[in-house]
Amino acid sequence: MKNRQGNIIQFYDKENVDKQSLPNIVVSSSESQQRIQQLQTFVDDVMVKGVDYGLIDGFSKPTLLKPGAEKLCDVFGFSKTADVVNRIEDWEKGIFAYEVKMTLIRKDNKIIEAEGLGSCNSKEASFRQQDAYSIVNTILKMAKKRALIDAVLSATRSSGIFTQDIEDFPKRQTSNQHADKVTKAQLQMIFNIIDEMNLPTDVAKEIMQISFNVDRSKDLTKSQASDFIQDLLALKEVRS
């Protein structure tokens, strides 16, 4: 049909166009559920609690650790490439910060599957009490680890099983003040990690003072203890 100026007017079915513009679901719900179940089975059968992932008392979802992320990369067939995209290296003030991009590439077709970002700096609570000049490489390694886990969670669609940061854990709220105190199991885990790291007691105490304004571990709350354990695990991992 033409209008008065002679231009061709095309009519269309809006409902039909809207339907055509929607993306198709390439994976059925049953297949998607099967993949999730296969991933969960791999986690249960192959991955090791305390090595590949950490389950912190007081939180319902475990955090993925570097060895676990590397296992998932292997089983999914991903190669890894890390690039430092931002850095601060102030040798006069002793301030160091790195932001790393981790790229996961499928080995079978060389297609980029996911990218993750991770950052770390010498002003974080876990590092403030240490000599910044002696932990530059540790800070860079931590940024790389965080970028790796970020990329793996995205590429494997495993964020429903794991989380990366302690802030992502859904905390269990309790109204009982006594129940909110640190548990014996948490205290024992704190002592075990400190012993395994050969971390001086005064250093561990300084971390608690800076992060939680607490002098003794038994004065921590349940939530604070979980945060402290997570910090110690992260520090242990980058020092290994």
The residue among 24 and 132 whose pLDDT is bigger is 132
- Per residue in 152-173, pLDDT (tens digit) is 999 988 888 887 655 444 444 4
Pairing of strands 63-64, 53-54: antiparallel
The C-alpha atoms of residue 143 and residue 140 are separated, in whole angstroms, by: 5
Whole-number pLDDT of residue 39? 84
The C-alpha atoms of residue 36 and residue 34 are separated, in whole angstroms, by: 5
The C-alpha atoms of residue 148 and residue 137 are separated, in whole angstroms, by: 16
Whole-number pLDDT of residue 33? 73
Q: Give the mean pLDDT of the chain.
A: 78
**For the ranges 57-61, 192-196, 207-211, which has the lowest average pLDDT?**
57-61
Q: Residue 67 is encoded by which pair of tokens?
A: 């060895």
pLDDT reading at 59 higher than 90: no
Whole-number pLDDT of residue 26? 52
